[in-house]
């Protein structure tokens, strides 16, 4: 049970870090990465899914 809670916490923390770092970028920095604001929710979801895979 503790392992499951740890995995969820790591997943949540990775998601929050991704949201925070992407939200700090301006439009030019996002464009340099080949991104724009409308694509950010999908990127956040992928980061969360990847964190879950790594932790499971």
pLDDT digits (tens, 9 = 90+) for 4-38: 888 888 878 888 888 899 889 999 999 999 999 99
Of the candidates 42, 4, 2, 40, the one whose C-alpha atom is nearest the C-alpha of residue 22 is 40
- The domain containing residue 27 runs over which residues? 2-55
Distance CA 10, CA 14 (A): 6
Distance CA 55, CA 27 (A): 32
pTM over 0.75: no
Q: How many domains does the chain have?
A: 1
Q: Mutual orientation of helices 2-24 and 40-55 as an angle, nearest 10°?
A: 150
């Amino acid at each position: 049970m503790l392992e499951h809670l740890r995995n969820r916490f790591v997943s949540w923390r990775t998601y929050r870090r991704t949201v925070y770092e992407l939200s700090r970028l301006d439009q030019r920095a996002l464009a340099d990465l080949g991104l724009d604001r409308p694509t950010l929710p999908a990127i956040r979801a992928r980061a969360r899914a990847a964190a879950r895979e790594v932790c499971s």
